[in-house]
Structure 1
Amino acid sequence: MKGRVVLVGAGPGDPGLITVKGLQLLSSCDVVVYDRLVSEDLLKFARKDAELIYAGKNLGESYNQSLINEILLQKAREGKFVVRLKGGDPYVFGRGEEECSFLTERGIDCEVVPGVTSAIAAPAYAGIPVTSRWFSSGFCVLTGSKADGSSIDPDYIPRKGTLVIMMGISKIDEVKKAILGIRDPREPVAIIEKGTTPSQRVVECTLERLDYCVKENNVSSPAVIIVGEVVKLRNKLWNYHNVLG
């Protein structure tokens, strides 16, 4: 009997941000293979007899993608219904395309259930809309740490609008240098650490002080960096008690 795999986006941290479909699948599967940034509260919705497999990794750890691929393949070949529970959205810097293509090439059915990405949710929980008719008619999401070990690609940095940088804290010096070559050094910046969780912390500065701000405040991953005039709206829109309880 051939099993199947569904890649489910768990959202950015707040367990309430998973989709209804994602929660239904999580509650009915045989195996859950979950990431480090997935809220443990979500695992309570899995069947009591479901197998839970941790497949997360911290920066620099050796738990690699090929091993995760093999785990998914093995469980599916055992005839199991597998939910691959991934933080945020599987296709927004989540390596979901790598896992799905690996499985389909080997004859395993693979479905994707989108999730709420931290690129939008973390700013929203901090009172920062990524678009605004007042300040920004568009936004761009970039990674600060590419697969080859390099940092942000300057060719993708827009001259206007909101810029969202994910996975950029470990390479903050390179990130700042790349953006400064294109954007105004006086632009407002918000750094959102552990967004949408009770531990959320927001640090504001200007682009020219981005690296100092990260280091002085000991900002750690996961964190999202927002560059643009929309950061100014935080004083009007942010309400900690309404959003985070």
Structure 2
Amino acid sequence: MASTTFQLDPADFELSDYGPVRISLPSIPAVTEEDIEAQLFSFVVASAHKGSSIKSLADLDDAWVRDHFEGMSTMEDLKASIKQDLEKTSRMGLENYKLQCCNDALIARLEGEVPEAVVTEAMEASRSMYDDRLRASGMTKVQYLRQEKLTEEEYEQKIRADVAYNLSLNVVLDKLIERQGLAVAKEDLTEYLSADNPEAFLAEIERNGKVDEACQAAARVKAMRQIVDTAIVDEG
């Protein structure tokens, strides 16, 4: 969260279980020839400007590949590359879904309610973060509301639910950290917290008195990684 003025005491909550979570995940679907052709067709569409000789999949040949893709010589090279990229995308999507499932399973174990006053305070502290996300996506709040078919009130409810979810997850992770005695030293922070310039990041948190806060955030990441790695997965 963007502020540390609100604090939740893990002692005010209980966890029904401290063991590995059990989740259900679908298997990664195999990349088919149809999937590869769909990607190839996007190249046809992108080339469909006035004067282009590319009008259909049949127009894509080895010469076209050599002209447009460095290091590739044939259509088979391109197809193999597309297949690899699609498989990577599927794996990343499944990994993100696994993380979400683990988060949900952890929160389901939490016994105790986050006070509404704390959620409201956290909302206000985090509002700029949500505004930044919209700007980064290239749309205004009005455009987002139209796209998602949300009213202003529904948007506020969405933010509140998101903030409450994250607060609850942090409490769970703090309980796990306490139970397992997890810790992350300052010199190991960037193993868990990404930073474009690690040295500048460490200097900044030192200067702003945020080292303990960063170490706690890193410990949460460490705990979450352990949960994901040890999750019992049922394919279904």
TM-score surpassing 0.5?
Answer: no
Q: Which has the higher contact order (CA 8 A, sep 6+)?
A: 2
Identify the structure with the greater strand proportion. 1
TM-score norm. by structure 1 comes to 0.25
* CA radius of gyration, larger in: 2
Identify the structure with the greater helix proportion. 2
